[in-house]
Every structure is written in structure tokens, then in C-alpha cells.
Structure 1
């Protein structure tokens, strides 16, 4: 992954972090990225939407940070989403600030 590059990913939220009320508002989520080919070498590949394109996590963790937000509706641990933005390394972790995102719904089994 380049030091600063624009990329589109798909993954599952592993954890979220909300700072204390006295701190500046922000909302952070750590996502386990799903790769198109099932390995970390394909980390920047675009993955088409839909249940048939669901992949296992490649192990790469990406941090998403929304500045000025204390919570984001629909964003919680276990949520699948597609997201894109400018990726930078912050404290050695790939990070995207204020990403564009789309929550992927899961089909219920009948």
C-alpha cells in the first residue's frame, strides 16, 4: 500500500471507539478488510457489491475515523461495509478520515 493513496475497500467492523465526552467529537472503527483474491496482496482491489462477493477477512486492519461525529447510525461491530477514501499511515495503521461508506445488508436465511 502506498503511503498516501485513494482506495476502495470492503470489510467487517471489528471494533469501534468513542472518546470521552470532554474530548473533541470523533468516531473510530477498525475494519478487517476483505480482499478480492482472498489474500493481502489484493488489498486495493475493488470488490463488487452483493452477497455472492462476500470474502473472508484478509487480516489487514484499516482504521476509519469520522471527525465531528460521536456515533454513526448503523455502524457497529460486525457490520459489513464498503468504504473509500484517502489512506494514510497513522501510528503505523492504515487510516481513512471521513470515509465515504455504504453499509451492506446481510440476507436472512429462511
Structure 2
């Protein structure tokens, strides 16, 4: 019965969460600020931020339970970081402009 009442997006989100948990990653919905985290998800958006002299590459990672902003300071390009790409990241969870953020995360590109 549940299969008929859930949307395709919910089903995909649940599958992403199960895959991340089986790989030993945390769910963003259970992570706390200032905590060292390892999460896995799909990049939904990539933006180059050209504010002032400090430039950085910004990506939004969705793990099915929430989103985290990834910021690579001083970088214009990070090879492999593109929308739709599966990624596993590790770093300290902070807040930037009210959004959960990880600065200069360690990352692994995953097979599509």
C-alpha cells in the first residue's frame, strides 16, 4: 500500500538515504552543527561566487534528508563537481548565511 502513496521523489530520497547508511555515512537530518560529518548524496547545483577578491566554488549536495552547501575557497573549478554527480564528502558542518555548510570538504566522486 505504501508503494502507491509515495511519490517518485520520496522513493529516490529513501533509496539515497539507505545507500548512504550502508556506506557508513550520516544522514544530514541527524547531523549537528560544528560536528565532523561524512555524508553522501547528489549535487543539485553548482555556482561560482565572485564576491570581491575572494572567489569560491559552491555546490549544493542533497542526501535525500536535507541539503548542505559545499564551498571550496579560492577555487573556480573542481574537476568532477557538476550537477547530477554522486559524491561522498567529509568535513565540519557549520552555518553560512543560515544554511548548513562544509568548507573545503574532503570528497570522493562516486559512480553514476
Q: TM-score under structure 2 normalisation?
A: 0.67
Shift of 1:25: 2.2
Query: Where does structure 1 differ by over 4 angstroms across 4 or more consecutive aligned residues?
Result: none
For 1:25, the equivalent position in structure 2 comes to 55
Q: 1:70 aligns with which of 73, 76, 86?
A: 76
1:61-100 paired onto structure 2 within 5 Å: 61-100=67-106
Query: Is the radius of gyration larger for structure 1 or structure 2?
Result: 2
Give the Cα–Cα distance (whole angstroms) in 2 for the partners of residues 32 and 62 of structure 1.
7
Q: TM-score under structure 1 normalisation?
A: 0.69
Provide Cα deviations, 1:45-94, integer angstroms capped at 9, x if missing partner.
xxxxxxxxxxxx22x01000000100101100000000010001222211
Secondary structure at 2:72 match in 1: strand
Secondary structure at 2:42 match in 1: strand
For 1:9, the equivalent position in structure 2 comes to 39
Higher relative contact order (CA 8 A, sep 6+): 1
Instruction: Figure out how many residues of one structure are paired with residues of the other and give that number.
Output: 82
Alpha-carbon RMSD: 1.5
Provide Cα deviations, 1:19-42, integer angstroms capped at 9, x if missing partner.
238642210001101xxxxxxxxx
